[in-house]
Amino acid sequence: MHCVHLHPAHVCGTAAVQYHSLHSEYPLQLSEDGDLRGGTFIGLKNYQDLLKDDTFWLALQNTVFYAVVGVPLVIIFSIFLAHQINKKIRGRTIYRTLLFIPAITIPAAIGILWRWILNYQYGIFNWILEKLGFSRISWLGDVKYVRWAIILVVVWSMVSYYVIIMLAAMQGIDSSYYEAARLDGASSRQVFFKITLPMLTPMIFFSVIMVTIGILQIFDFIYLMVDRQTLSYTYSMSLVTYFYECAFNKSSMRGYGRPSPWCWLPSSW
| 112 half-sphere exposure, CB direction, 13 A CA radius | 5
Residue 167 pLDDT greater than 80, yes or no: yes
CB 118 within 8 A of CB 125: yes
pLDDT-derived band at 16, boundaries 50, 70, 90: low
pLDDT bracket for residue 39 (50, 70, 90):
low
What's the average model confidence in pLDDT over 123-129? 92
pLDDT tier at 244, thresholds 50, 70, 90 = confident
Q: What is the CA radius of gyration of the chain?
A: 24
Read off the pLDDT of each residue in 47-67 and give the average, rounded to a whole number: 87
Q: What is the pLDDT averaged over residues 4-29?
A: 55
Mean pLDDT of all residues belonging to the chain: 82
Closest CA to 139 of 151, 148, 127, 129: 148
pLDDT at 53 over 90: no
* pLDDT for position 261: 58
Euclidean distance between CA atoms 268 and 217, whole angstroms: 10
**Close Cβ partners of 263 (under 8 Å, ≥ 6 residues apart):** 47, 50, 51, 56
pLDDT tens for each residue of 200-239: 999 999 999 999 999 998 999 999 999 988 899 999 999 8
In order, the DSSP letters of 58-106 are HHHHHHHHHHHHHHHHHHHHHHHHHHHHHS--TTHHHHHHHHHGGGGS-
Residues 42-48: contacts with CB within 8 Å, 24+ apart? 45/255, 46/255, 46/256, 46/258, 46/259, 47/256, 47/259, 47/262, 47/263
Dihedral sign computed on CA atoms, order 17, 19, 25, 27: negative
Q: Count Cβ neighbours within 10 Å for each residue of 76-90 and write b for 16 or more, e otherwise.
A: ebbbebbbebbeeee
- Helices and strands (DSSP H and E) totals, the chain: 16, 0
Q: Rounded mean pLDDT of 45-70? A: 86
Q: Which residue has the higher pLDDT, 252 or 92?
A: 92
In CATH, the architecture of 42-268 is Orthogonal Bundle (1.10)
Look at residue 251 and tell me whether its pLDDT is greater than 80. no
Percentage helix, strand, coil for the chain under 3-state DSSP, each rounded to 5: 75, 0, 25
Domain ranges across the chain: 42-268
pLDDT at 122 over 60: yes
| pLDDT value at residue 41 | 58
Residue 3 pLDDT level (bands cut at 50, 70, 90): low
Neighbours of 170 (CB within 10 A): 17
Residue whose C-alpha is closest to residue 66's, from 183, 153, 182, 177? 153
For 77-115, what is each residue's pLDDT tens digit? 999 999 988 887 777 778 778 888 888 888 899 999 999
